[in-house]
Amino acid sequence: MLESAEWGKFELGDLFEVETSKKRFDANKVTLLKNGKHPYVVRMGSNNGQKGFIDEEPCFLNEGNTISFGQDTATMFYQEKPYFTGDKIKILKPKDNGFNKRNAQFFISTMIKAFSSFSWGSSSFNVKVIKSQLLTLPIKRGKLDYKFMERFVSQLETEQIAKLQAYLDVAGLNDYQLTPEETSALVDYQSCKFDYFKVIDVFKVKNSGNILSRDIVKDSGETPYLCASRENNSVSSYISYDEKYLDQGNCVFIGGKTFVVTYQESDFYSNDSHNLVLYLKNEKERNKLNQLFLATCVEKSLAHKYSWGDSISNRKIQKDVVALPVIGDKVDFSSMSIIISAVQKLVIRDVVEYTENKITEHEKVLQKA
């Protein structure tokens, strides 16, 4: 499809106004809400740049149907609705009313390619440089071909949705009906009792191995190579390396400097010996569902204590406690598996409904084309 298109070059500034956010809100001075009317957009590279929601004066809202551009990170996201921003966010406001949600991802993919030579923290991301970046885009009779972009994005999404549906079928994840036991567990969760336990009474704690990123060959094997990132379950690559540095999986993994907590099913390599590996002492209950629940408990119990400048360590965690569900004075492992199973099904249901809605939406786009 791309081969049949005619292409033209445009400076970003020809297509977008590059505006400064009406007000930049400091993440340390605002009250973040899990839900709300107006998103709070920062320079993070996930979740559409949205860190949460904040309730501030509407006069400081930036317009929707724009692209948020993170200066010194070059992270770009389409923002459909009005939003507030954090520091160093530029607002790319389209000059042409042909720009919309259906073609925005085409523009963003082109912009990402244009800025790919810039490194994180680059001081070159000033307005003049942003405006001067050349974008290669499809044209028709010398003008931007918005219909082509919309058809291409719709076709690409349809293909990916089909792959997702096939994966759900093959993996047996298309069954999202809750069992009576799962329904009851979700209802009873609000009255579930929790108690505090020393982390070292529940887990055996060790520091992970330490393989510097400069010493590995990315994508050279099939073993996960973990970092302290929140993205992709902390897996930055899959590598082949000396097995003496391998850490055993089926554990809770903590990124030592960032306090990102994940469950790791497979054996893995780690990028930093400051990372911690937690092995459940009760081996009979050491399964995936239980440990997904436990990872959440560890994060909720300890995240308020640790930050980049005051990171967790093996020495510090020896004195920490974690809140866990109990029956009497014993950890209630049985309810953990049931609750996680129920939550997974609810998420899968949302994914199935999303795919069905997307397919219907794409069919309408293709009918109009």
Confidence band for 277, pLDDT divided at 50, 70 and 90: very high
Same CATH fold assignment for domains 2-144 and 193-331:
yes
Confidence band for 87, pLDDT divided at 50, 70 and 90: confident
Six token digits for residue 220: 């050279």
User: How do the domains of the chain map onto residue ranges?
Assistant: 2-144, 159-176+340-368, 193-331
CA 138 to chain centre: 30
Alpha helices in the chain (DSSP H): 12-15, 104-114, 127-132, 146-170, 180-188, 199-202, 288-302, 314-317, 333-368
Six token digits for residue 221: 């094997």
Confidence band for 220, pLDDT divided at 50, 70 and 90: very high
**Average pLDDT of the segment spanning 61-82:** 93
Q: Would the pTM count as exceeding 0.75?
A: no
| Amino acid 71: pLDDT | 84
**Residue 348 pLDDT > 70, yes or no?**
yes
Span 223-263, pLDDT tens digits: 999 998 888 999 999 999 999 999 999 999 999 988 999 99
| Amino acid 28: pLDDT | 81
| CATH superfamily of domain region 193-331 | DNA methylase specificity domains (3.90.220.20)
Compute the distance between CA of residue 118 and CA of residue 106 in angstroms, rounded to an integer.
Answer: 20
| Amino acid 279: pLDDT | 98
Percent of the chain beyond pLDDT 70?
95
| Amino acid 231: pLDDT | 84
Instruction: Scan for tokens 């009576």, then name that residue.
Output: 180
The β-bridge partners of 8 are 137
From the list 47, 336, 86, the residue with the least C-alpha distance to 194 is 336
* Ramachandran category for residue 72: left, alpha or beta (phi over 0 → left; psi -120 to 50 → alpha): left
Lowest mean pLDDT among 180-184, 230-234, 235-239, 277-281: 230-234
Select 2-144's CATH number: 3.90.220.20, 2.60.40.10, 3.40.50.1820, 3.40.605.10. Answer: 3.90.220.20
Average pLDDT score, the chain:
90
**Residue 45 pLDDT > 90, yes or no?**
no
Span 300-346, pLDDT tens digits: 999 999 887 789 999 999 999 999 999 999 999 989 999 999 998 99
**Residue 369 pLDDT > 60, yes or no?**
no
Confidence band for 122, pLDDT divided at 50, 70 and 90: low
Confidence band for 181, pLDDT divided at 50, 70 and 90: very high
**Average pLDDT of the segment spanning 157-163:** 83
Q: How many Cβ atoms are within 10 Å of 210's Cβ, its own excluded?
A: 14
DSSP string, 74-138: TEEEEE-S-BEE-TTEEEEEESSTT--TTTHHHHHHHHHHHTTTSPTT-TT-SHHHHHH-EEEEE
| Amino acid 362: pLDDT | 65
Lowest mean pLDDT among 2-6, 118-122, 315-319: 118-122
Percent helix, percent strand, percent coil in the chain, to nearest 5: 40, 25, 35
**Average pLDDT of the segment spanning 54-71:** 94
Confidence band for 166, pLDDT divided at 50, 70 and 90: confident
**Residue 145 pLDDT > 90, yes or no?**
yes
**Residue 176 pLDDT > 90, yes or no?**
no
| Amino acid 62: pLDDT | 97
